Structure 1
Amino acid sequence: MERNPLIAVDTQPDSPSAIYGHPRASARLRPLIADVGKRSGEFPDYLANHLPMVLEAMGRLGAAPERLEAYARHYTLAHAVPFPPPAVSSLTDATWRSALGQRERETDLRDYFADVVSRIGGNEAIRLHLPALFPGVAASATHGLMRLAYAVLRRDEMEIGIALGYWAATYLAFPQPPLAGSPTVDDPAELILSMQSEPSFRNIVVSSTLLWKWIEAVGHIPAFQQRLGRLAPRDDLLIRMRQASLALYAGTMSFEALHAVTGSHWLRLVSPHLDKPQILAVHFWEVVLSLYTKIGMPDLPSAEMLDAWRKLQVPPDEAIAAAAIASDDEHDHSLVFSALEEYRHTGDPLYRVVAARRVGLIE
């Protein structure tokens, strides 16, 4: 298999992790997440509610129940996380797609998917219904995917229904212009770097700080639309995406590239429940393409630089996890947990390096 020479291959799958959940946290997590999960998937104004997911991440990183409860109170109050809007009208198998992208229908969509999960189970609900949501994976800046991934990780049927409803209510798809021929690009890194020469991707102005508003705006640029559908859904696509995302984040440590790294983890969790997970991966990478413009379309680090970073001395996993737990920034919890899980899966020490950098333990 030919690969991009800048990116390392997975060499040590399922390597051991030194991080274990707090012995008293697991019993508290499920009822705590069930309680905070009653609130909306977003808080004012249209920002993703990370709380159900980062509580799980913090618990698995070793947070004590007291820290989890304190953080849940802090997050809910600091962000004024509301309850979902009132129901409008019930949805059915024949009508639920008519409510896609309508935030005011969050309750209706949550209720619909709760019923679906109760009838056929979470795994089958994902397999049958998620393909219709693939094109809208930019939903709430990809956090619909995040919520579903954590629900799958926890084997939480209630959260699976909520996550599907949240994804559907915030559904955001790019225009899909007709393409001449089949997808021709195998390497996601190649596709992302091909954008550097396009002038219309420079100096984009978006009148909002919301990440999903940037994604939406880039989707209207003709040159961007020409790149949609270019990436081939190969069997090794998620591996290549994981490697390219890690290189991009290591080189930039940017907020946008962080979501590519965590998103690759979420895709790995959800993929076993799908018949064609590569199709979802293609749509996710198109979101990453749109965010690449926001960070100035930098080059990826060289193979030599990546290897040098891999050799850096970093604190033990327990210290990295403890620093994330102590933080009140939900993206610290998210990145560190995903990075350590991806390190456990791949054995690539660069994940430990970026995790330690994120929480300020190394430069």
Structure 2
Amino acid sequence: MAMTRDYQQPAVNIAPHPRASAALRPLIADVGRRSGEFPDFLANHVPMVLEAMGRLGASPERLREYGDHYNSVHAVPFPPPAGAPLSEDSWRSAIGQRSRETDLRDFFGDVVSRIGGDAAIRRYLPTLFPGVAASATHGLMRLAYACLRNDENEIGIALGYWAATYLAFPAVPGTGPSTTDPLSLVLEMPAEPSFRNITVSSTLLWKWIENMGTLPAFQALLGRLEPSDALLPQVRSASLVLYAATMSFEALHAVTGAHWLRLVGPHLDNPGELVARWWEVVLSLYTKLDMPALPDAETVDGWRALAVPPDAEIAAAAIASNDEHDHSLVFSAFEEFKLTGDPLYRVVAARRVGLID
């Protein structure tokens, strides 16, 4: 399967609602006061998907309606009470503690107010790279949307959320050869018996990820993928094909995650290191899909040739949905299409919202 191809890069034909922009920032600031998760340990998507919906063309009325609906249906709480203030010397002691979400948000909010969001990400995020599975990678999502919007308040909140829900694989060296090819690790996995018939006593995505980190055969894969500037385009292409082949919840997060990495990358000195750690999370979820074979190039080209509805129709279907993953996938797919020109992004977007088979 070819990893990358060259396409023309036409625009996405969507007209944002003329009144949405002015409504979004205060609305996101309001909903952003709530916790990064709701019971039991599920990611609160609403600060991010409101931005996606706004850019897809949602009206201010629909944005407010969806925010109210989401917080009502999911009973999204406010963060836990503050404990003890954190300092430059002590903040690391609170990593991975959901009960310290407020303390971590306050710490990073103060950092951002002093040195700015870009400098805060550049200085502190490398410490959090290994824990990119935080809240099933939604810490990365929240930070990416904060970067997209250049929202200093949300950058502080996102860093605190990532730190509080930090989830890392064991710090063990992989036992195989290093590689620059992310697909080579995927192709190794189906032959490993311990990756079959895995049982996890939770439906939470991050619990599956956490469990994978306990398997010796999976630990042997860790640290083998070499960071580089070429890595993100490779994992972007592979993630899209995996999603097109499966249309699965897990692979959806690989497509959107590649977009989020692109948004955060300019704020990092070594973005390839984060991409490499994130790809290990994708590998852990590949087992949840029962490790399907990847389609050949001819099959993928056939999907690319499918007729799809106009962009505005796809966007409207996403906006009308109350499923946060519809907004997230369609927006990321359109943004990645604008970057790459790969028509497969339009195909998966139309499929996700039920406009084509």
Tell whether the 8 Å contact from 1:7 to 1:303 is kept in structure 2 after alignment: no
2:134 corresponds in structure 1 to: 139
Find the residue that maps to 1:140 and give its secondary structure. Answer: coil
Structure 1 residue runs without a partner (length 5+): none
Structure 2 residue runs without a partner (length 5+): none
Structure 2 counterparts to residues 2-21 of structure 1, below 5 A: 5-12=1-8, 15-21=10-16
Structure 2 counterparts to residues 25-64 of structure 1, below 5 A: 25-64=20-59
Task: Select which of 156, 168, 171 maps to 1:161.
Answer: 156
1:109 and 2:104 matched: yes
2:232 corresponds in structure 1 to: 238
1:187-224 deviation digits (Å, cap 9, x = unpaired): 11221121010000000000000000000001100000
1:219 corresponds in structure 2 to: 213
The one-letter amino acid paired with 1:319 is E
- Runs (4+) of structure 1 exceeding 4 A deviation are none
Tell whether the 8 Å contact from 1:332 to 1:358 is kept in structure 2 after alignment: yes
Task: Select which of 322, 344, 350 maps to 2:338.
Answer: 344
Separation in 2, partners of 1:209, 1:95: 33
1:78 and 2:73 matched: yes
**Cα–Cα, structure 1 residues 356 and 100, in superposed 2: closer, same or farther, change >3 Å?**
same
The one-letter amino acid paired with 1:196 is P
The total of aligned residue pairs comes to 357
Using the size of structure 1 for normalisation, the TM-score is 0.97
Shift, 1:184, TM fit: 1.9
Separation in 1, partners of 2:88, 2:47: 27
Structure 2 counterparts to residues 1-363 of structure 1, below 5 A: 5-12=1-8, 15-179=10-174, 184-363=178-357
**Cα–Cα, structure 1 residues 298 and 316, in superposed 2: closer, same or farther, change >3 Å?**
same
Tell whether the 8 Å contact from 2:173 to 2:223 is kept in structure 1 after alignment: no
Deviates more, 1:311-320 or 1:189-198: 189-198
Give % identity: 72
The one-letter amino acid paired with 1:285 is W
Shift, 1:180, TM fit: 6.1
Separation in 1, partners of 2:187, 2:333: 24
Separation in 2, partners of 1:242, 1:273: 19
Tell whether the 8 Å contact from 1:15 to 1:346 is kept in structure 2 after alignment: no
1:91-134 deviation digits (Å, cap 9, x = unpaired): 01111011000000000000000000000000000000000000
Separation in 1, partners of 2:29, 2:14: 24
The one-letter amino acid paired with 2:300 is L
The one-letter amino acid paired with 1:359 is V
Shift, 1:288, TM fit: 0.1
1:60-98 deviation digits (Å, cap 9, x = unpaired): 000000000000000000000000000110001111011
Using the size of structure 2 for normalisation, the TM-score is 0.98
Separation in 2, partners of 1:19, 1:102: 41
Find the residue that maps to 2:137 and give its secondary structure. Answer: helix
Deviates more, 1:187-196 or 1:224-233: 187-196
Separation in 1, partners of 2:81, 2:175: 45
Find the residue that maps to 1:141 and give its secondary structure. Answer: coil
Tell whether the 8 Å contact from 1:15 to 1:345 is kept in structure 2 after alignment: no
Separation in 1, partners of 2:254, 2:6: 17
Separation in 2, partners of 1:178, 1:314: 45
**Cα–Cα, structure 1 residues 205 and 26, in superposed 2: closer, same or farther, change >3 Å?**
same
Tell whether the 8 Å contact from 1:310 to 1:350 is kept in structure 2 after alignment: yes
Separation in 2, partners of 1:96, 1:56: 30
Tell whether the 8 Å contact from 2:36 to 2:43 is kept in structure 1 after alignment: yes
The one-letter amino acid paired with 2:5 is V
Tell whether the 8 Å contact from 1:137 to 1:167 is kept in structure 2 after alignment: yes
Separation in 2, partners of 1:288, 1:273: 22
Separation in 2, partners of 1:10, 1:215: 34
Tell whether the 8 Å contact from 2:132 to 2:140 is kept in structure 1 after alignment: yes
Tell whether the 8 Å contact from 2:231 to 2:272 is kept in structure 1 after alignment: yes
Separation in 2, partners of 1:32, 1:196: 46
Separation in 2, partners of 1:141, 1:351: 23
1:138-162 deviation digits (Å, cap 9, x = unpaired): 0000000000000000000000000
Tell whether the 8 Å contact from 1:137 to 1:173 is kept in structure 2 after alignment: yes
**Cα–Cα, structure 1 residues 224 and 10, in superposed 2: closer, same or farther, change >3 Å?**
farther
What value does the CA root-mean-square deviation take over the aligned residues? 1.1
